[in-house]
Amino acid sequence: MHALITEIRRRATLWRSEHDQVAHAARSTNLQRMANLTPAVVFINAVFIVWLGAQLLMQQDTELVTQWKLALFLTHLLMASGFGILTWSAHAHRHAVKSWLGRGLPLLAACLGEVFVIGFVTFDQWVSPNISPYLLGSIAVSLAVYLRPVTSAWVSVASYCLFYYAIGLTQNNAEQLLSNRIHGLAAVAMGWALSVFLWRKFTIITLQREQLENANIELQNKHKELQRLTRLDGLTGLYNRNTFVELTRQELARAQRQGSSTSILLLDLDFFKRVNDTWGHPAGDAVLKNVAIVANSTVRATDLVGRLGGEEFIILLPNTTLEAARRLAEKLRANLERSPTLWEKTNIVSTVSIGVASTTASEKHDFDHLYSHADTALYSAKEKGRNRVV
């Protein structure tokens, strides 16, 4: 018995947590449903108002039947007015889910639905012992509005108490009154059970949808990260060789169409092996990262910086002549020389040799040709003593 009670408490705690998670979605769905369904309720009421009004004007009935039709006519009129206001409120506050009115409108609609259905059943007792409208109304409210089980229970209890009292005013047959009250209890119990079932179904579906959406977002993020890793150098964050070559070929094709010049800078750190041998490979990695930072801060926003591998870097300069590329390369060389890498309280000064190559649109040179010329220039810079631009 103790184990059963513990399991019930555990399940109740779990449900309460899940219900809190979907409460916002339920309010949003309820407001959307109200905006769509309440106009239909008003239309149905209008049909009955016209029909009952015609009956009252055109037919001569007994006093009891006339009284019954008039009561139904007024009830439909009040219901049409009430749900007409709810229709306007639902449309006006459809997106104000967090407001008190946005939270309270669905509950108000459920309560009004129960009240008017009880009114119909109560007046029907004058001419018929039937309480089918109460059963149908309880089911309709459960289908139309998502209510938490506890809230739905309170609405059901209040509804049955009003039903129990109201039909006692118009049903004078004691046996029929008892039967109706018993059947009414069964009807409200069925309505509450259906409400709980639909709420749990909504909760499970909503949570599963959120889990799928979160999983999809996570998958997309991982896919983007994978794409980033395949396009960028893992150490410096610069474009890797394959990506840089691809982007350069695209730029050369664009430059040929528009008739502009394109230049590249090929950089190689001087005596980089000494850094690794003296301070270790982590220090060498720090130097490479520093080169990437200085290069990115020196070039223009339209320029592309890549790492070919090891201590070699490459920069694409769109719409840039050979002389403009040489000036930028000289500026970059000077910036790197006066931007040492801080490593364990030591400043590691690095210099770089740069080879510059350029092509015009009329020459129609491809990347391999441009790279070959830049590599030749870089080799010349090395031979001439390093730390220079050729």
Catalytic residues: 311
Pairwise CA distance, residues 94 & 381, whole Å: 71
Q: Is residue 230 within 8 Å of residue 223, measured between CB atoms?
A: no
Q: What's the length of the chain?
A: 390
Token couple for 325: 């590329």
- Residue 304 three-state SS: strand
Burial of 15 per CB tally in 10 Å (0-12, 13-18, 19+): middle
Residue 182 is encoded by which pair of tokens? 């018993």
Closest CA to 117 of 148, 76, 154: 76
What is the end-to-end Cα distance of the chain in Å, rounded? 89
Strand order in the sheet with 304-309: 304-309, 312-318, 262-269, 352-359
CA nearest 159: which of 133, 179, 178? 133
Q: Which two tokens stand for residue 92?
A: 């006006």
